[in-house]
Structure 1
Amino acid sequence: MVEASCGQCRLGLPGKGCDLAVRIEGKAYFVDGTSIDSHGDAHAKDGFCNSIRRAEVSGKVVKNRFVATSFQLLPDSVATDR
């Protein structure tokens, strides 16, 4: 179980644009294996650019990126609006 959101808009990662990221044990990582647009409108009220959501994931951190082998966004799981 992780927090998932836009890395740039919500999780403080560098870059331009909007990219999916997860926070694991307090550290944020960009995600490979799925994209921000694969999980709905990122700019909707409950989208990744406006909220932090919970997700069940599997994968591993490789070269400071989370390589997802599965990524299941939990419905109605807005964790916070930080």
Structure 2
Amino acid sequence: MNLKNLTFLSLFIVAISCKSKDEINQTVEISCGQCQFNLEGDGCSLAVKIDDKAYFVEGFGIDDFGDAHDENSGFCNVIRKGEITGTIENGKFLASSIKLQD
């Protein structure tokens, strides 16, 4: 095996090992954990529901998508759908991306 092939193989192995096996990439419900998903907390916080279980979100705030208390679209008043990417660690969803569908 020449040096060029060995370098390529090494980079390929590193790239594969860096990808998280537990990464979640799916469409879920997004809303206020306390107001809509009945999670215990000290105020309104963004949460997602994955496979019927709610998790607080880290990496994005509840007001990052508009006023959380808006009557028609705020997370404290409605449950919205969105595409998420991230992992669950220590009982929280660590979001790397959130894209609302509505």
Whole-Å separation in 2 of the counterparts to 1:10 and 1:34: 17
Q: Does 1:30 align with 2:56?
A: yes
Task: State the Cα distance separating 1:15 from its structure 2 match.
Answer: 1.2
Structure 2 residues without counterparts, runs of 5 or longer:
1-26
2:74 aligned partner: 47
Q: For residue 60 of structure 1, what is the amino acid of its counterpart?
A: T
1:73 aligned partner: 100
Q: For residue 66 of structure 2, what is the amino acid of its counterpart?
A: G
Q: Deviations over 1:27-47 (max 9, x none)?
A: 000000111010101001221
Tell me the TM-score normalised to structure 2 length: 0.71
Q: For residue 34 of structure 1, what is the amino acid of its counterpart?
A: F
Runs (4+) off by over 4 Å: none
Tell me the TM-score normalised to structure 1 length: 0.88
1:4 aligned partner: 30
Task: State the Cα distance separating 1:16 from its structure 2 match.
Answer: 2.1
Structure showing greater relative contact order (alpha-carbon pairs closer than 8 Å, 6 or more residues apart): 1
Q: Which has the higher strand share?
A: 1
Structure 1 residues without counterparts, runs of 5 or longer:
76-82
Q: Which has the higher helix share?
A: 2
1:57 aligned partner: 84
Task: State the Cα distance separating 1:74 from its structure 2 match.
Answer: 1.4
Task: State the Cα distance separating 1:54 from its structure 2 match.
Answer: 0.3
